[in-house]
Each structure stands twice: as C-alpha cells, then as structure tokens.
Amino acid sequence: MYMIGKRLRKRHNLDRDVRIDLYSGLNTWLRSLNGKKYHGGDVPNLADIEMYGMCSAFHGMPCWEDAVQNTKIQKWYNRMDRYLKKKSAIGVTSANPTQGEITTDTSLSTS
C-alpha cells in the first residue's frame, strides 16, 4: 500500500502531506460558491450532491476533523445534511435532487 500511495501521489502531483491538497480542494469548492448557500444557488444541484457524497465518505474520520479545523467546510456540509434529511431519500434522485416535493398523500395512488 505504501508504494501505491507513493505512486499515486507522484502521478497526481500531490503534496507529501496529502491533507494540504485536501484543504486546498475544499477551499476551492468553498470559493466557487461565491457567497451562495449551494453551488446551485438557493437549492443544491448535482455538484453539491457529489461534493456532499465525497465529504460523507470521510466524515467522522480524523482527516474530516482536520479538514473542519483547517477550512470552513463544516457550515456548508451541515446545511447540505439538513437539506437532504428534510427532503429524505424517497423521490430524490442524484440527477435532479430538487424535483418536486415528497408527498405521503395516498389518494394519488393508482391501485
């Protein structure tokens, strides 16, 4: 694994301390928001969903805690987390996470 990591670091021109590149990537993302709540504006778009998924992959790990301490990603991440929990996974697709409201009205059923 050590050799694979070393080879990947060289191939992708990463800093010896790859967390520096992680912070840089997160800060680039935050700057791309241009003061908006989400990349998509008032509602998340596919880019927000993908970034949230990437961050979720290491959420709770020591590198996430380091990223939170060294960037301002926590505020955006928490906002996305609340948005997605509010919308629920039912009826939400990665292609269009904001498509329509979720309803529990059974009168719409065709059966």
pLDDT tens-digit profile of 38-67? Answer: 999 999 999 999 999 999 998 989 989 999
94 neighbors 46 (Cβ within 8 angstroms):
yes
Report the pLDDT value the prediction gives residue 5, as an integer from 0 to 100.
66
Residue (of 2, 26, 40, 17) closest to 77 by Cα position: 26
Mean pLDDT to the nearest integer, 77-97: 73
Predicted structure pTM score:
0.68
Report the pLDDT value the prediction gives residue 10, as an integer from 0 to 100.
73
More confident residue, 18 or 90: 18
94 neighbors 49 (Cβ within 8 angstroms):
yes
Whether 75 has a pLDDT exceeding 50, the answer reads yes
Whether 102 has a pLDDT exceeding 50, the answer reads no
Residue (of 70, 10, 79, 16) closest to 51 by Cα position: 79
Report the pLDDT value the prediction gives residue 103, as an integer from 0 to 100.
41
Contacts of 42 (CB under 8 A, 6+ apart): 36
Mean pLDDT to the nearest integer, 62-84: 93
